A and B are shown apart, each in its own frame.
Chain A
């Protein structure tokens, strides 16, 4: 079995979450989902998990997307991060400040986001090859 790219998708809207899950699954990714920042953090801290990319909503209960991005950048610096927001400029600006790789505004085209993920991850593997 070849290594699939692993993504963690976080959104408090369960409909969005299941749509993303189905879509990324069909595009041959290994997908896990979480309904808020705390649930995501618990998945991330579980050592049996390992992700290449985090796709997160920004405005969520308990740990916001911005908070999650800040924690992930510190603890998993290699993970690529895509932030999605439907709440105007403020959360998006904070996500960039927290060093999300890309900030996208909702509604988001699924093919576009998959394209972004695949580009980000190929950059990653290019860099790794260079390092090797």
Chain B
């Protein structure tokens, strides 16, 4: 147990950023860290949900106790259940001795439930019971244990949608959603990119003193800032690490997935046009498939796949995606002045509002 706590202390990363949304999250953390009210952290993959959970823990009165993490998507249902609640000797074949679960390990501390949106329904009702009563019993045990755990959950799913599809329990959602922390994707808080590069460059340099990471030049930095970062901060971290080996930001930028780059730079007089044109038949042989997979689920049977593929449908999805990016890009450039953006985009104000609504384009919080 002690080991787990110490490991976590060294893993702790501060929340880096200067954008309004990150500053607001920091302020929120400061105000709620001592309340021990259930927290739900949402955001795309790689935005830093665990970093926020750790910050809450560090600022709370529970920071001297354990921070226990479990990934609800990584384990099959039965294993997840025994990991969470533990088991008694003889509860099932192979249970040779008692084993305590994460709830017990996190007692008086924090239990971080990562990927809560992927928790199977049966376990959701058990989780609800524990959150309501503060009691649980290990598998194969009749004894109820009292638990004092601060539950922080995270997900990259839209749980409102999951509830509508009956994949997530409404009562559990409201019980977790007492404090909601929504972390916007990196492309919606571009001003954080430069401080993030600076922070991680310094961190990796101190971890690997033999390597020579360098700051990107101003041109490259502009390109990096305009890149949409589908993998968010985690993707940026990987690029910084790679840069320390390759020693060239240009190379790193060239290796980033091109179809995304094409989107973000399409408004910049086709600066990258030469590279993007030759894209399908060069380095990345799997790129056409990966482009298609954005719009059609390629993992299904070919029968179903052929049913799903429709040029008209894909054209609409692809153009929606580009339109959304362009609308966001222009709005961002004009400080979310919609009437100015509509003039630049050469559409009516009404059309722009309609499209913003359709594509759920919202100004950063």
Contacts and interface: CB of A to CB of B under 8 A. Distances in A.
B180 A62 contact: yes
Contact of A90 (B31, B174, B365): B174
B179 A64 contact: yes
Given A70-B37, A90-B170, A90-B171, A64 B31 contact: no
A94 B171 CA distance: 9
- Per DSSP, chain A at the interface is helix
Given A61-B180, A64-B180, A90-B174, A70 B35 contact: yes
A110 interface: no
A94 B175 contact: yes
Contacts of A66: 174, 178
B264 to A, nearest CB: 28
A62 B179 contact: yes
Contacts of B177: 64
A64 B174 CA distance: 10
Contacts of A71: 35, 37
Nearest to B35: A71
Interface string A51-79: 00000000001111011001100000000
A38 interface: yes
B134 to A, nearest CB: 12
Interface of A: 38, 41-42, 61-64, 66-67, 70-71, 90-91, 94
Interface of B: 24, 27-28, 31-32, 35, 37, 170-171, 173-175, 177-182, 365
Given A38-B31, A61-B365, A67-B37, 9 more contacts: A42-B31, A62-B180, A63-B32, A63-B178, A67-B35, A67-B178, A90-B174, A94-B174, A94-B175
